[in-house]
Amino acid sequence: MTALKTVRVLQLGAEDFSRSVQISDCAEWYYEPVFSTLPEKDFDVAVLDREINKEEFEFLIRFLRAYCLFITEKVSLKKGNVTWQLHIRKMGRRVSEGKLKNLLKEDLPDYFSGSYGERYMPQHMSVAQGFKGAISWRGYEGVDLKGDYGNEMTQIVFWRNTIPVEEDQSIEFWLEYEKEDSVEISLEISVLRFMYSSAPETQKVWTFSENELKDIVYIENKNGRRGHIFVSLKACFVTDYMVNFG
């Protein structure tokens, strides 16, 4: 007999759904009617059945992955409030009652986080030397950049650490960000080969547009050898606008 992989699910709301909806056997269920001290560990899925406060926002920003936030139709998403900000930052999804039931009963195994993955932490980000605007770090949460980049895509941020990628391995990426409508961004992912006493050799480069970044993107290493992934972000501004990265 094979044990089911555990998917950690957090629900915030007035009613505990596990008492009225069939939940997959793989779920490790955490229900919080009123926010209290929770274990400092990642959650694979979060379900919001009410608006959240600033304390809950800070917790979920830190311990929840993108595309794993589900918000019921009864929750107000007023632009600018903390619930709306979390929805934007974590690429949240609205769910009807029927879709929520299907998610909790059938789809939770799809959100198991034990498969290969690595989070690029904000403290590993560096702002490009050519950036001349204002920089405001938000601790371990992210960084706010404000400036004028002209009309051509220019590197503004890169991640100092690289991660290994094996031959024929595929890796998914998602970007957590908030920006002004007049800012255009793109994500550049390179596979590098490090060689003794020489500069790294670029084996492959992928560039993902802002439209593509609305969903998860992925790369596949078909170069016939092991490499290391280097990630940078580019942006294009017409005039002074704000962009936030986390």
The pLDDT profile of the chain, 246 residues, written as one tens digit per residue, is 334 468 889 999 989 999 999 998 888 999 988 777 676 778 889 999 999 999 899 889 888 887 889 999 999 898 889 999 999 888 889 999 999 999 998 888 877 765 445 567 777 889 998 888 899 987 767 888 888 777 889 999 999 888 888 788 888 888 888 888 888 999 999 999 877 667 888 999 999 999 998 888 888 888 888 888 999 999 987 555 556 666
Fold topology of 122-245: Jelly Rolls (2.60.120)
Which tokens in the block code for residue 177?
A: 């960000």
Amino acid in the structure at residue 24: S
pLDDT of residue 197: 65
7-111 and 122-245 agree in CATH topology: no
Instruction: With 0.85 as the threshold, say if the pTM is over it.
Output: no
CB 172 within 8 A of CB 117: yes
What is the DSSP annotation of 81-137? SHHHHHHHHTT-EEE-HHHHHHIIIIIGGGG---SS-----GGGEEE-TT--SEEEE
CB 59 within 8 A of CB 37: no
Alpha-carbon distance 88 to 177, whole Å?
8
Going from N- to C-terminal start, the domains of the chain cover 7-111, 122-245
Alpha-carbon distance 106 to 126, whole Å?
41
pLDDT of residue 155: 92
pLDDT of residue 22: 92
pLDDT of residue 73: 93
User: In what order do the strands lie in the sheet containing 143-147?
Assistant: 134-137, 143-147, 241-245, 177-179
Fold topology of 7-111: Rossmann fold (3.40.50)
SS3 category, 211 = coil
Alpha-carbon distance 219 to 190, whole Å?
9
β 93-95/69-72 pair status: parallel
